[in-house]
Structure 1
Amino acid sequence: MKFLYIATALIGAVTVQAAKLPSGAPCKPDGSMGVCASGLCIKTPDQPQGKCK
């Protein structure tokens, strides 16, 4: 049973880490397109999406 909990935690950690967007990738500040690796998504009001910095 412990193995199942550990395996689930590891799979979750890998999934969260893989979801980071690289610098220059399109993004939305609300994170709906993924989260920037730097944590910074720059979007101007007239654009539908921004870019990771």
Structure 2
Amino acid sequence: MKFTWIAALALIGSAMALPAKEPAKLPSGATCTKDGKLGICESGICVQDIHDSQGKCK
């Protein structure tokens, strides 16, 4: 019984220790969003009109 708890805690601990996945790098001209849901532009510039749901990487 004690071994089960130790194994469960080890599993949870190792899952928490995994590095976070980096967002995708988008090339110039790709579709992007200001919040980075589709990825981050390589240039760091996503031109998106305030009323549009998506923009383009510059």
Alignment match, 1:43: 48
| Max Rg structure | 2
Bigger share in helix: 1
- How many residues end up aligned between the 2 structures? 41
Q: What is the TM-score when the length of structure 2 is the normalising length?
A: 0.59
* Structure 1 stretches of 4+ moved >2 Å: none
Find the aligned partners of 1:19 and 1:47 in 2 and give their Cα distance. Answer: 21
Q: What is the TM-score when the length of structure 1 is the normalising length?
A: 0.63
Q: Per the alignment, in what secondary structure is the counterpart of residue 56 of structure 2?
A: strand
CA RMSD of aligned residues (A): 2.0
Unmatched segments (≥5 aa) in structure 2: 1-17
